[in-house]
Chain A
């Protein structure tokens, strides 16, 4: 039905996933994963699965980001290259 919207979402999702994999800064990767979660929630809602999209937005965009940021602040990078 909304195939143009879904196509745009899919392209942005792939770009975000690649950026989150390639980037060196871990905080940037976490933010990219958060945006990935919100966009996939939008994708679920567009596809008609409102419940799944709601869960994805709440868990993936809210709590997981906080946990990952706390973990980044509690760990150190051993190598300095």
Chain B
């Protein structure tokens, strides 16, 4: 974006608020089974906390926190976790994404709980990485012209 002077108040407030947004995003991801929220919302909150640091500080600080070249590999890893869970259920004899066939626990309900948690971690990782990399791609051309 435009070269704005580094405002200390904005930087301080962003530094204070950003970890709490990140913590709330993790809470939303890990409590997605039985409360509103889930992988998409939690991933968006994580991306919002990272984008807040990138907006308030210099771009160098944002790159230290989450390097831009990490976006595509992390997004791909999230998609792989999602499809890996589904294909693992397929491998152990069930249907695609049928968590009851995953050999994670003894009870069926616990198996479903762990399966949903795995899928939501994958979705959250993919959404966070892709949203941050969209933001980086929007800002990237500025350096060249």
Which residues in A have some Cβ–Cβ distance to B below 8 Å? 50-51, 54-55, 58-59, 62-63, 66-67, 70-71, 73-74
Contacts and interface: CB of A to CB of B under 8 A. Distances in A.
Contact of B139 (A54, A55, A59, A70): A70
Contact of B44 (A51, A58, A71, A74): A58
B9 interface: no
Nearest to B25: A58
Interface residues of B, number: 20
A70 B36 contact: no
Contacts, number: 41
Contacts of A70: 1, 135, 138-139
Contact of B37 (A54, A62, A63, A71): A54
A62 B48 CA distance: 7
B48 A73 contact: no
16 contacts: A51-B37, A54-B36, A58-B41, A58-B45, A59-B44, A62-B48, A63-B47, A63-B48, A63-B51, A63-B131, A66-B51, A67-B135, A70-B1, A70-B135, A73-B2, A74-B1
A58 B1 CA distance: 23
B50 to A, nearest CB: 11
B110 interface: no
